[in-house]
Structure 1
Amino acid sequence: MRFATRRPKGLGRLGRVTYAYEREFRNIDRQGTESGRRWVRNQQRSIEDWRRRSSGQKPASTRRLGIGDVRNTPVARRTPA
């Protein structure tokens, strides 16, 4: 699963849960600058890389990393299924 590596604009929304923090990024970079946009892209790539590496162990390890729980905890609360 390599979402962040190549994700067409429209597709991000369907076929995948939009995380709260991603929604914010999107808003920011709509008004934001080029550099902002680039930063967001890098941010997402690093998150995905990290997830690929540690797909073995779940949230326990997530806690340790700042990024991890940004991604995971809101999701748990947001999507019941």
Structure 2
Amino acid sequence: MNELIPDKKAYQLNKRIMAYLAMAMMGIVTVATVVWPGQMAEADSILMAQYLALSGLVGAYFGFSAKSNSSTKIEAKS
């Protein structure tokens, strides 16, 4: 991880909370779309953009976390 980050635990915790809240928001929107489809039809394009952005955010978090963990393990073996 970057040496410029003073509190790495808080940084990781904040990133994890951000990813979980993004996934929760996607779940809430999904449930709202199923429960009130008539009202959600008006916001169709906005919801698609929101899903794209949130899934990119969550995917980037888990992807970069996995990459940094694998590079840390490789450095430890060397």
**After TM superposition, is the score higher than 0.5?**
no
**Pair member with larger Rg:** 2
Higher relative contact order (CA 8 A, sep 6+): 2
State the TM-score, normalizing by the size of structure 1: 0.36
* Structure with the higher fraction of residues in helix conformation: 2
